[in-house]
Amino acid sequence: MTVSTSVPKLADTIVLVHGLWMTPRSWEHWVQHYTNKGYKVIAPAYPGLEVEVEALRADPSPITALTMPGVVKHFEDIIGALDTPPILIGHSQGGVIVQILLDHGFGAAGVAIDSVPAEGVYVVPLSQVESIFPILSHPSTRHDIAPFTPEQFHFAFTNTLSEEESQAAYERYYIPAPGAFVWEGVLANFTPGHQSAYVNYHNDDRAPLLFLAGGADNIMPPAVNQANAEHYRLSKAVTHYYEFPGRSHYTVGQPGWESVADYALDWAITAQKSAAPAAV
């Protein structure tokens, strides 16, 4: 037997998956940050949302046309066309999309930041209910857009920022969400059969997965992320949870985002090395 000393090639590409009420513009600082580190960085929009924030506010019809299976397939096509599996980093709804992509065999490592929970997570803290109540109190949003006012956005996303800072983030990044996605998340555990946020928690063959939570996140509090991570406890695949104290749901943009970005990348690099089979 010949022993090889070659080191398995690590991912050289990072795919960033945005969440609801946001577009790829929310990753603008992360794209430059990771590019400066020598990575190829891709931040795709959901299908149909490849226009600027201002255009989607003026005409939100592409938002209501979205479906979760269509969004997942869109990212699978993008990732499948790459030469090697990338690191996947998703925020909020992007976090559950990363979970699904890993379960489907895509990616070299995945990071779910302030993730929407996959199917089967029943933890619903009060601040989460308060964050989405403005939408759930209007059933018509289920088949329409799900908007946030600046005040609602401040509570759900940017509660650790001043009103002025939150308003600036709202003006720069905010778009309405597809109401169907919000309602599907609420009703998933009460609907027969597997829904669009289903993952196989027992999948031993998926790539390593990191959950990052913000200690002050109102719409996806740490308890939700902890419960989601705990569902993977019987899988032999690597799953890790880490919490940043005092950070809101807007952790990818609020001051100090660099520490979150660096932790995510450093963990993904280490996890790839640990998960790589021994060369023989």
Asked if 217 and 247 count as a contact pair (C-beta separation under 8 A), the reply is yes
Q: How far is CA 160 from the centre of its chain?
A: 20
Its sign, for the CA torsion 129, 135, 68, 60, is: negative
Per-residue pLDDT tens for 33-43? Answer: 999 999 999 99
Going by pLDDT thresholds of 50, 70 and 90, the confidence category of residue 274 is confident
pLDDT band at 61 (very low <50, low <70, confident <90, very high): very high
| Tokens at 182, concatenated | 């919000």
For residue 154 the two structure tokens come to 């401040």
pLDDT digits (tens, 9 = 90+) for 146-155: 999 999 999 9
pLDDT of residue 203: 97
> Burial letters for 248-266: b for 16+ Cβ neighbours within 10 Å, e otherwise?
bbbbbbbeebeebbeebbe
Residues shown for the chain: 280
pLDDT at 82: 97
pLDDT tens, position by position, 183-221: 777 766 666 556 778 999 999 999 999 999 999 999 999
The maximal CA–CA distance of the chain, rounded, in angstroms, is 67
What is the rounded average pLDDT of the residues 132-138?
A: 85
Using one digit for the tens of pLDDT, what is the confidence trace for 109-122? Answer: 999 999 999 998 98
Strands 177-178 and 145-146 turn out to be: antiparallel
Written as six digits, the tokens of 256 are 């100090």
What are the φ and ψ backbone dihedral angles of 234, each rounded to 5 degrees? Answer: -90, -5
Q: Is 72 helix (H, G, I), strand (E, B) or coil?
A: helix
Measured between alpha carbons, how far is residue 39 from residues 2, 21, 56, 157 in Å? Answer: 33, 27, 29, 28
pLDDT at 275 over 80: no
* Domains defined for the chain, CATH in brackets: 13-274 (3.40.50.1820)
